[in-house]
């Protein structure tokens, strides 16, 4: 990441922070997190990037290309900070941001029990004695660096592995489209992951929908799906993969055992091929 990037702790009005598409799709236990923030404060504030008009337009071009969205600068809010106007865009901490919103709009559980007719912002101001929310503001990021910052910050905050895989594939293919010589190794280095992790993520994304659906609904572990990708690599058709999916579901609590089954199958198949 660029050494010129600077992070500064500060406070902003909640409604001036623009929230665009994030790699994370799963947001669990938001109410519990809101209660915890109200009780104990926040240890790691959400991260926002401060962009001027030109930087924001270029950043939106990148976001729209990568995530197939249609954001326009006219629809975003601008705010004056340090004597200049910026677009503040959330890049990390959407769970914490959503918890802020709960405290503003509904209040924590304790405040709701004490007062059934809370006004907007009343709970938050009671706990923090102010109307602005604490954030870390990043300045000096180019539009491309901002996109990687968003990806890196979100991926390293325990995103479900299947969501992580699709985020990697989306951004990698976008980079590959811009530069055909862009390598998997370069991408892995940029996002702070091993080449093997990225390669497995891409293989997961190439699995049939009926396998990915089982992972997304929680019936199948991501690790078992990766083992199934090894069977897809040798050319098994859809019916055979469905048979192996059933076997994987029966071994859902033991990835190591299922890996051994796959290893033995591939060994037998390779032996038959040599004979």
Q: Tell me the two tokens of residue 127.
A: 């706990």
Average pLDDT by stretches of 10, the chain with 275 residues: 73 95 68 90 90 91 83 95 94 89 94 90 94 92 78 61 84 83 86 86 93 89 93 91 91 83 87 59
Please report the pLDDT score of residue 1 as a whole number. Answer: 45
Domains of the chain plus CATH, in order, are 6-155 (3.90.1530.10), 161-274 (1.10.10.2830)
The closest alpha carbon to 94, from 41, 33, 183, 146, belongs to 33
The closest alpha carbon to 169, from 205, 122, 207, belongs to 205
Distance CA 32, CA 150 (A): 24
> Would you say the pTM of this structure is higher than 0.75?
no
């Amino acid at each position: 990441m660029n050494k010129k990037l600077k992070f500064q702790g500060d406070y902003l009005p909640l409604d001036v922070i623009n929230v665009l598409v994030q790699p994370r799709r799963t947001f669990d236990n938001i109410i519990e997190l809101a209660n915890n923030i109200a009780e104990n404060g926040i240890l790691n504030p959400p991260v926002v990037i401060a962009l001027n008009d030109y930087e924001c337009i270029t950043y939106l071009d990148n976001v729209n290309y990568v995530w197939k969205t249609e954001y326009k600068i006219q629809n975003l809010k601008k705010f004056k900070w340090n004597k200049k106007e910026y677009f503040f865009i959330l890049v990390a901490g959407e769970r914490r941001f959503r918890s802020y919103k709960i405290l503003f709009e509904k209040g924590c559980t304790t405040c709701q029990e004490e007062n059934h007719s809370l006004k907007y912002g009343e709970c938050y101001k009671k706990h923090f004695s102010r109307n602005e929310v604490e954030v870390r503001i990043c300045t000096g990021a180019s539009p491309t660096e901002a996109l990687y910052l968003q990806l890196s910050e979100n991926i390293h905050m325990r995103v479900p592995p299947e969501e992580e895989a699709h985020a990697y594939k989306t951004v990698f293919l976008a980079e590959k489209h811009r530069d055909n010589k862009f390598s998997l190794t370069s991408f892995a280095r940029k996002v702070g992951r091993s080449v093997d992790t990225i390669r497995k993520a891409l293989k997961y994304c190439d699995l049939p929908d009926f396998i990915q659906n089982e992972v997304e609904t929680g019936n199948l572990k991501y690790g078992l799906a990766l083992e199934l990708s090894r069977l897809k690599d040798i050319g098994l058709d859809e019916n055979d993969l469905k048979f192996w999916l059933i076997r994987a579901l029966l071994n859902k609590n033991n990835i190591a055992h299922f890996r051994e089954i796959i290893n033995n199958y591939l060994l037998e198949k390779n032996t038959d091929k040599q004979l």
